[in-house]
Amino acid sequence: MSSVRVFRPARIRMLAAVATVCALSAAPLAPRTALAADTPTYTETHRPQFHFTPQKNWMNDPNGLVYYKGEYHLFYQYNPNGNSWGDMSWGHAVSRDLVHWEELPLALPHDDEEMVFSGSAVVDRNNTTGFGTEKNPPMVAIYTSAYKNGGKQAQSLAYSTDRGRTWTKYEGNPVIDIGSKDFRDPKVQWYAPTKSWLMTVSLSAERKVRFYSSKNLKDWTQLSEFGPAGATGGVWECPDLFPLAVDGDKNTIKWVLVVNLNPGGIAGGSAAQYFIGDFDGTKFTAEDKGTYTPPTGTVVQDFEDAGFGDWTATGTAFGQGPATGAVDGQSSVSGFEGKGLANSFHGGDGATGTLTSPSFTVASPYLNFKIGGGRHPHEAGTVMDTTPPEGTVLADFEGGTYGDWTATGDAFGTAPATGTLPGQQQVSGHLGDGLANTFLNGDATTGTLTSPEFTIDKKYVNFLIGGGNHPAGSDNPTAVELLVDGQVVRTATGKDAEALDWASWDVGDLAGKKARIRIVDDNTGGWGHLNVDHIVLSDTKAQRVSQETSVNLLVDGEVVRSATGTDSEALDWASFDMRPYLGKQARIQVVDRNTAGWGHILADRFTAADEPALSVVQRADWADHGKDYYAAVSWENAPGGKRYMIGWMSNWDYAGSVPTSPWRGAQSIPREMALRTVDGRIRLTSTPVSSLTALRNKRPATAYGVTVENTSKPLISRTPQGGALDIEATFSLKDAERFGLKVRTGARGEETVIGYDATTQELYVDRTRSGAADFHNAFSTGVQTAPLKARNGQVELRILVDRSSVEVFGGNGEAVITDQIFPDPSSTGVEVFAEGGTATLDSLRAWQLKSIWR
């Protein structure tokens, strides 16, 4: 089972390649009997082995979390008809241990009138609703009715008297209707002091949470509202309110309000923030965190003069000099310092330009500045030249007709679109007036558009593409296809964005062949459309064009740091870590290359400083600092007063694009929540549910006293069970700047880095080389960090590694990072590393985890 290797004085017990995989020693606590007739093997590439996933189709938010008669119920947003978002209904699974899951039939299906959005479930023990009896109290689901006609959202009920196996929708629905399209995700609990039901529900677009009270779940009275507060860069969704003892002292109770945010999370996109405070039965009051004072430093540019000084402007977006606030046509601008700022809204969102500082020598550890405007990040490899490649234009969709192209279905209409269609987000990046746009009458339409036959006589086929990410070969594609001899030989799809950008096919090997191009929209779900323009045969490969609104740091002409706005006219602090570039020549460049909605950037008060300035988002509190933990909510009625929480392990930035089939979407490991005093402040902490250890194989791989200096050393060469591991590791700080573990190492240099930065006192996860990442631009950008102070010179980590995720718990659960990864199945190694000095791995135990599906 194991072998021994020695690294200097270290004693390591290696987990070698194992030919067999241990089976479960006992039947799961909740055997999967409901689907026994067609139970799959659950061995597909990237299929999680100890996280819940549905057998097939799309899943997102966890819903209806309640414990009843020995079962933990997990309902979830589910599309019974496909592997993309749509036809939202409640799927259902149960567990006796929060680890093994039995998938049950669909609980609450959508119908002709409504989709069934997120909500909660309770056990009505006193039969206040009259839906059951005192001897057989009903389980009641409180969900959001998302009405298909008009888009209104209201709160409704359904009930079950057979332990959640069958459900009846209440004939008096909805029970709360305020006439809003952004009123959703009710979390309901029994509030004993007033002997009434308490609902926490989101006014999502207003960034507010509203509280209601009821005696019978049918008739509700508004109590109060909370918000906006904390991070507000996106909509507020899936709120949860619950009490916890502080440091285990039942005489000291604080209330936790969890508010999930999308976008605008700590790692970009979706995330779960929380507030700690008090609830008096009517109102939630968050603890006052005081005002924020940024670090002082040397001001590099504050835009207080009449002109830009020695900064150079191009284009028209920035005007002739700094703005004094909002410019013509712009909403009110706030948050800038003094009287002036750089504002690229001159001429509206359609104008573009850059503003560049003179070259300077980097002499301070940090560059702090204020930023606002559009959320359009810089993308590596893009260029600012919008000139299309020269060649033979096969279609530019100008002139009001499709010419000799052949359309089928109803998605393309009778003529090209002239930009954005009714109900569509703003379309940009196309050339001229016309383009093929299949959003005609919304995502529900489908069809094809096929070119006449042509001869491939150049090296590249270039075209502009945007819209939905549903690749050719998936159940319902939105794709551009190249057909030779009737066979698809090249494909491309959108990236769930309305902005068009260049895509290129190298067709040098097809020279002289007859071909056709076919644009296919076979998708009726979310992002079920495609935008295409300017298809050209060329000997030059088209380069993707920048569509950023960003502040960039350039060193040696390359962008090495970048920040963007949050679709807000309020400026907030941002910071660049300049330490790797000390002594080098650099420039600051403010860039507006976007002509669509929020296509402008605001910047002010560039300051060289010794400490980083913190944004509102960084100063907010987060249940998880990773990219893939959203819609986090907790179970009601858990035994022993425990508070268990689970989140959807994805991010709306790219959720519809992750490369999994026949399912898409996974839930995190359930976590036990606690309030602990950390560095003098009360924090919400989380640790994996204790029953997870039942999946551990008996004999872990171990390592003790491994000292590494500016290198990586293998600890585990290959892990059976597809890399499913539970790792406990303790490091001692020496003089290394960064150290930690690399997991899922192997094929083509793949690795997911889980490290500790001793200089910033942060836990981090770097998945930029973790495997498949090209399915969406937002997936591999950035490194996720969470503040974590060493204790007694040591850093303790608990790492859960599955086939398509890592969950990292630092310290006593005060720092948590959850990220999806999609490595090659053969990449199952584990290494220890140190950078910038020496670190010691005091101890490591790594258990293989058995699959919950066998």
What is the DSSP code string of 687-716? EE-GGGGGGB-SS-EEEEEEEEEEEEEEEE
- Are 602 and 564 contacting, i.e. CB atoms less than 8 angstroms apart? no
- Are 461 and 420 contacting, i.e. CB atoms less than 8 angstroms apart? no
Q: Which of 61, 124, 185, 443 is catalytic?
A: 61
Three-state SS letters, 622-663: ECCCCCCCEEEEECECCHHHCCEEEEECCCCCCHHHCCCCCE
Quick one: which H or E segment has residue 154?
Answer: strand 153-160
* Sole residue written with tokens 């093929």: 436
**Three-point CA angle 616, 620, 624, nearest 5°:** 130
- Are 398 and 418 contacting, i.e. CB atoms less than 8 angstroms apart? no
Tokens of 84: 């993309």
Separation in Å, CA 492 to CA 228, 469, 471, 779? 41, 9, 7, 18
Provide CB contacts within 8 A for 313, sequence distance 6+.
353, 354, 355, 356
- Give dist(CA 561, CA 702) in Å, integer: 39
Bridge partner residues of 383 (DSSP): 545
Cα-Cα-Cα-Cα dihedral of 561, 566, 567, 571, to 10°? -90
- Are 784 and 764 contacting, i.e. CB atoms less than 8 angstroms apart? yes
- Give dist(CA 290, CA 312) in Å, integer: 39
Residue 522 carries which DSSP code?
A: -
- Give dist(CA 792, CA 591) in Å, integer: 45
- Give dist(CA 448, CA 152) in Å, integer: 32
- Give dist(CA 32, CA 689) in Å, integer: 21
- Are 318 and 303 contacting, i.e. CB atoms less than 8 angstroms apart? no
Number of helical H runs and strand E runs in the chain: 1, 57
766 is catalytic: no
* Sole residue written with tokens 């209806």: 64
- Give dist(CA 312, CA 358) in Å, integer: 8
- Are 74 and 667 contacting, i.e. CB atoms less than 8 angstroms apart? yes
Bond preceding residue 662 cis, omega within 30 of 0: yes
- Give dist(CA 382, CA 174) in Å, integer: 49
Cα-Cα-Cα-Cα dihedral of 371, 376, 378, 380, to 10°? 160
Separation in Å, CA 823 to CA 563, 657, 668, 745? 28, 16, 18, 8
Q: Which stretches does DSSP call E strand in 317-441?
A: 342-343, 353-356, 360-361, 366-373, 392-395, 406-409, 436-437
Tokens of 444: 């529900």
- Give dist(CA 602, CA 112) in Å, integer: 45
Provide CB contacts within 8 A for 280, sequence distance 6+.
none
Classify each residue of 616-634 as buried b or exposed e, where b means 16 or more C-beta atoms within 10 Å of its C-beta. bbbebbbbbbbbbbbbbbb
Report the catalytic residues: 61
